[in-house]
């Protein structure tokens, strides 16, 4: 069976593609810039194709003959502040994918969304919810929506980013320190998605994927500091200063934090329901996974300290 994947060159895709390959699927990965993801070609059955994913005619051409489409395209921030970037990536693209699926005869669609999609006032969550509405309205397709909490694993942009920030200064001013999260391991998400792909019982359903434990954002950052061997003071900011930090960071290149992130964090990223169990998957705890891949950060920190001492 051949599957076409959009957004598979990112963090989740790097874990999902080996799972799909091991299960015997042939994977066509669409990307606008192939040199940045050549490493994916070492995975058996993976075919990289250059494409403008916002061109519906190109999507149709690549979808022809495929049995399923998986869309993992998503952004956490946009270059502007009015939501146009989120709408393009999350809503307009899904409209084109649905149109291309219909035109090419593909009926199976798996959409990676987000926990709390459609809730709150952030452009991120609102646009994710609008995309889900489009998919549910396309009742001629056998669609499944995946709603994961924060996904962690080797190469993630969550624990690795905080580890980098913590190395910079002895005090970290942390916005929204009480925000609740239920991080889920990327390996569990990838395994569940692979199992769901040909499971007709998942057609028309939303699969919520969360980890086994709930943490505050402060607890996660403190855990990161301990794991990489850094003694740091985490200064939790009150709501007003958290909002202000988001506004100021809107103008920082790369947007490590933003007003939209602040709005997303106003809703706890947790769930009592967990679809991982229906696939026989026992969610992995972050404490059993994260230390393994942050070990390199810890070793580098010790090496840096040794060099400082030696240079005195």
> What's the mean per-residue pLDDT of the chain?
94
pLDDT of residue 116: 97
pLDDT band, residue 301 (cuts 50/70/90): very low
Q: DSSP characters for 128-182? A: HHHHHHHHHH-TTSEEEEEEE-SEESTT-SSHHHHHHHHHH-SEEEESSTT-EE-
Distance of CA 82 to the CA centre of its chain: 22
Whether the predicted pLDDT of 145 surpasses 80: yes
Q: Which CATH class is domain 2-157+183-209?
A: alpha beta
pLDDT band, residue 308 (cuts 50/70/90): low
pLDDT of residue 169: 84
Whether the predicted pLDDT of 247 surpasses 50: yes
The structure tokens listed for 172 are 């970290």
pLDDT tens for each residue of 249-268:
999 988 889 999 999 999 99
pLDDT of residue 217: 98
Burial of residue 65, with CB atoms counted within 10 A of its CB: 0-12 exposed, 13-18 middle, 19 or more buried:
exposed
pLDDT tens for each residue of 190-201:
999 999 999 999
Alpha helical stretches, state H, the chain: 11-22, 56-63, 84-86, 93-104, 123-137, 159-168, 186-196, 217-227, 239-249, 259-264, 290-310
pLDDT of residue 299: 53
pLDDT tens for each residue of 8-47:
999 999 999 999 999 999 999 999 998 889 899 999 999 9
Whether the predicted pLDDT of 182 surpasses 90: yes
* Measured distance CA(180)–CA(287) in Å, rounded: 17
pLDDT of residue 118: 97
* Measured distance CA(199)–CA(146) in Å, rounded: 14
Whether the predicted pLDDT of 307 surpasses 90: no
Residues 6+ apart with CB under 8 A from 309: none
Percent of the chain with pLDDT over 70: 95
Whether the predicted pLDDT of 310 surpasses 70: no
* Measured distance CA(80)–CA(47) in Å, rounded: 34
pLDDT, mean of residues 189-216: 98
pLDDT band, residue 305 (cuts 50/70/90): very low
Q: Where are the domains of the chain?
A: 2-157+183-209
pLDDT of residue 259: 96
Residue located via tokens 């489409």? 69
Percent of the chain with pLDDT over 90: 89
């Amino acid at each position: 069976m051949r599957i076409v994947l959009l957004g598979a060159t990112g963090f989740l895709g790097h874990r999902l593609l080996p799972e799909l390959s091991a299960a015997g699927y042939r994977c066509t990965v669409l990307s606008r810039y192939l040199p940045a993801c050549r490493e994916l070609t070492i995975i058996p059955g993976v075919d990289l194709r250059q494409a403008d994913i916002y061109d519906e005619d190109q999507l149709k051409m690549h979808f022809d003959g495929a049995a399923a489409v998986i869309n993992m395209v998503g952004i956490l921030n946009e270059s502007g502040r009015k939501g146009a970037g989120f709408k393009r990536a999350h809503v307009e693209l899904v409209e084109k994918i649905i149109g291309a699926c219909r035109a090419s005869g593909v009926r199976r669609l798996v959409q990676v969304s987000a926990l709390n999609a459609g809730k709150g006032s952030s452009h991120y969550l609102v646009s994710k919810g609008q995309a889900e509405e489009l998919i549910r309205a396309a009742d001629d397709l056998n669609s499944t929506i995946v709603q994961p909490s924060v996904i962690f694993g080797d190469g993630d942009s969550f624990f690795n980013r905080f580890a980098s920030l913590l190395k910079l200064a002895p005090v970290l001013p942390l916005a929204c320190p009480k925000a609740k999260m239920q991080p889920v391991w990327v390996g569990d998400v990838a395994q569940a998605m692979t199992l769901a792909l040909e499971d007709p019982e998942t057609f028309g359903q939303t699969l919520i994927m969360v980890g086994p434990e709930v943490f505050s954002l402060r607890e996660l950052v403190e855990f990161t500091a301990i794991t990489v061997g850094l003694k740091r003071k985490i200064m939790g900011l009150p709501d007003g200063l958290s909002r202000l930090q988001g506004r100021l960071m809107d103008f920082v290149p790369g947007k490590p934090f933003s007003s939209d992130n602040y709005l997303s964090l106003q809703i706890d990223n947790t769930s009592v329901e967990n679809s991982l169990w229906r696939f026989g998957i026992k969610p992995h705890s972050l404490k059993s996974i994260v230390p393994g891949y942050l070990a390199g950060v810890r070793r580098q920190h010790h090496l840096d300290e040794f060099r400082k001492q030696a240079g005195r």
